[in-house]
C-alpha cells in the first residue's frame, strides 16, 4: 500500500496542495453502516456503499468509526489490528479510493498500539490514487456508566496525541472521531478548516439527545461543513448505535441525513457560499481569548 512520508500531520499544512481559488461546488458523502464482527462481510458492505456514493458523484467519501469490525466483545478489534501500512483493511481502502478516483476517509480502523493488548483507533485518508495522505489517532476516549450501559475505551484503546489537518483539492480538512465531538477546543486547534470529517459510533442513549446538536454546533462555531458518518442500528453484539449520519453546512443547516440503517448521505459543498458567510460574519477573526492570560 502506498503512503506519503508525511502522513502524521499536526494542525498545519499537510498532504496535497490546496486547490487555487476553491470555488467550484462538489459532492461529498457520508456512509452509514451497522457493522458486525465479520471483517470480510463489513468490507463487502462498505465496498457496495462506496460504489453507490461514487455513482452519485461524490468526490470525498467518509466511512463510519470501526466500519470493518464491531466485535462481540472489546478484544475482537484487538485480534484484527493491523500494522500501519499493511493489512487487508488498509489495502481495501486504498484500492477503493483508486478504483473510484475519490478521496476516501477510512472511518476508523484498529491499528497496532505500543502495547499488544490495545489498539489505536485510527482514521486514514486516501487520495484518488489510493495513496494514504494522512492519519489521525483518536485523542478522546469514551467512558460511560449509565444504567446498564458501560463503556471504557481506554481498556483496549491507546489515545492519540496530535491534532491532524490535511490540505486537499477540497480545502483544509480536519479529522476527528466520535467522542472528540464533545471537545470544541480540538476543533479550534485545527485552525480554520473548511471541512470537518467525523466518523462515529455514538450510542443511542447519548446520541438521541446530544448527537445532532453537537454536530451542528461544531459546524456553526467553525463556519465549516461537517460530514458526520455514523454507525446506525442494532448490532450483532446487542449494541445499539444512534445513526443519523448527516452533512451540515457552515450555517448549521442539515443538508442530508439518514436516521437508521445502511446507506449513503450526500450533499453539495459550495465554497463560494462558505466564503460569503465567513466574510459576512467573520467570527473566526474575532477570537480574542488567546490574548487573555
Under 8 Å between Cβ of 227 and 207 = no
As a whole number of angstroms, the distance between CA 275 and CA 273 comes to 5
As a whole number of angstroms, the distance between CA 157 and CA 74 comes to 9
Strands (E), the chain: 26-32, 58-62, 103-105, 109-112, 119-126, 132-137, 143-146, 149-152, 157-158, 165-168, 171-175, 195-200, 225-230, 232-234, 240-242, 245-248, 254-258, 263-269
Residue 75 lies in a domain: yes
3-state DSSP assignment of residue 85: coil
Q: For 34-44, how does the pLDDT look when each residue is reduced to its tens digit (9 = 90+)? A: 999 999 999 99
Residue 190 lies in a domain: yes
Check which CATH number belongs to the domain holding 219 and give it.
3.60.110.10
As a whole number of angstroms, the distance between CA 9 and CA 12 comes to 7
| pLDDT confidence bin for 288, thresholds 50/70/90 | confident
As a whole number of angstroms, the distance between CA 80 and CA 82 comes to 6
As a whole number of angstroms, the distance between CA 196 and CA 248 comes to 10
**N- to C-terminal Cα separation, the chain:** 47
Residue 76 lies in a domain: yes
pLDDT value at residue 13? 37
Residue 114 lies in a domain: yes
pLDDT at 196 over 80: yes
pLDDT at 15 over 50: no
Percent of the chain scoring above 70 in pLDDT: 91
pTM of the complete model: 0.92
As a whole number of angstroms, the distance between CA 142 and CA 154 comes to 8
What's the whole-number average pLDDT of the chain? 92
pLDDT value at residue 3? 64
pLDDT value at residue 145? 82
| Domain residue limits at 67 | 26-280
Residue 186 lies in a domain: yes
As a whole number of angstroms, the distance between CA 37 and CA 202 comes to 18
| pLDDT confidence bin for 23, thresholds 50/70/90 | confident
Q: Which residues of 239-260 are buried (b: 16+ CB within 10 A; e: fewer)?
A: bbbbbbbbbbbbebebbbbbeb
Q: For 208-251, how does the pLDDT look when each residue is reduced to its tens digit (9 = 90+)? A: 999 999 999 999 999 999 999 999 999 999 899 999 999 999 99
Which of 149-153, 251-255, 272-276 has the least mean pLDDT?
149-153
pLDDT value at residue 16? 38
Residue 202 lies in a domain: yes
Residue 19 lies in a domain: no
Pull the grid cell for residue 183. 471537545
Q: For 40-73, how does the pLDDT look when each residue is reduced to its tens digit (9 = 90+)? A: 999 999 999 999 999 999 999 999 999 999 999 9
In Å, how far are 68, 80, 91, 130 from 88, measured between CA atoms? 10, 10, 5, 14
Residue 192 lies in a domain: yes
CB atoms under 10 Å from CB of 122, counted, come to 24
pLDDT value at residue 291? 58
As a whole number of angstroms, the distance between CA 252 and CA 218 comes to 8
Under 8 Å between Cβ of 25 and 268 = yes
Q: Catalytic residue positions? A: 65, 138, 178
* Domain count of the fold of the chain: 1
* Four-point Cα dihedral 77, 84, 14, 136, nearest 10: 20
Amino acid at each position: 500500500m502506498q503512503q506519503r512520508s508525511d502522513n502524521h500531520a499536526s494542525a498545519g499544512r499537510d498532504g496535497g496542495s490546496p486547490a487555487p481559488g476553491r470555488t467550484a461546488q462538489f459532492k461529498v458523502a457520508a456512509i452509514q453502516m451497522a457493522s458486525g464482527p465479520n471483517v470480510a462481510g463489513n468490507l463487502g458492505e462498505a465496498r457496495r456503499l462506496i460504489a453507490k456514493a461514487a455513482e452519485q458523484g461524490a468526490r470525498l467519501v467518509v466511512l463510519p468509526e470501526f466500519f470493518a469490525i464491531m466485535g462481540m466483545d472489546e478484544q475482537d478489534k484487538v485480534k484484527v489490528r493491523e500494522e500501519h501500512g499493511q493489512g487487508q483493511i488498509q489495502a481495501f481502502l486504498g484500492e477503493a479510493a483508486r478504483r473510484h478516483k475519490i478521496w476516501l476517509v477510512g472511518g476508523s480502523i484498529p491499528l497496532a498500539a505500543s502495547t499488544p493488548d490495545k489498539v489505536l483507533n485510527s482514521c486514514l485518508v486516501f487520495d484518488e490514487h489510493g495513496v494514504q495522505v494522512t492519519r489521525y489517532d483518536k485523542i478522546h476516549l469514551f467512558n460511560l456508566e449509565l444504567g446498564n450501559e458501560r463503556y471504557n475505551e481506554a481498556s483496549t484503546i491507546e489515545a492519540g496525541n496530535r491534532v491532524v489537518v490535511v490540505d486537499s483539492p477540497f480545502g483544509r480538512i480536519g479529522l476527528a472521531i466520535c467522542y472528540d465531538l464533545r471537545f470544541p477546543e480540538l476543533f479550534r486547534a485545527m485552525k480554520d478548516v473548511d471541512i470537518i470529517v467525523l466518523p462515529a459510533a455514538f450510542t443511542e442513549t447519548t446520541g438521541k439527545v446530544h448527537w445532532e446538536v453537537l454536530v451542528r454546533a461544531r459546524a456553526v462555531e467553525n463556519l465549516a461543513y461537517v460530514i458526520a458518518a455514523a454507525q446506525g442500528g442494532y448490532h450483532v453484539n446487542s449494541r445499539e448505535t444512534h445513526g443519523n449520519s448527516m452533512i451540515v453546512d457552515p450555517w448549521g443547516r442539515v443538508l442530508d441525513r439518514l436516521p437508521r440503517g445502511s446507506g449513503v448521505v450526500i450533499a453539495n459543498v459550495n465554497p463560494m457560499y462558505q466564503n460569503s458567510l465567513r466574510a459576512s460574519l467573520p467570527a473566526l477573526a474575532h477570537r480574542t481569548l488567546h490574548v487573555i492570560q
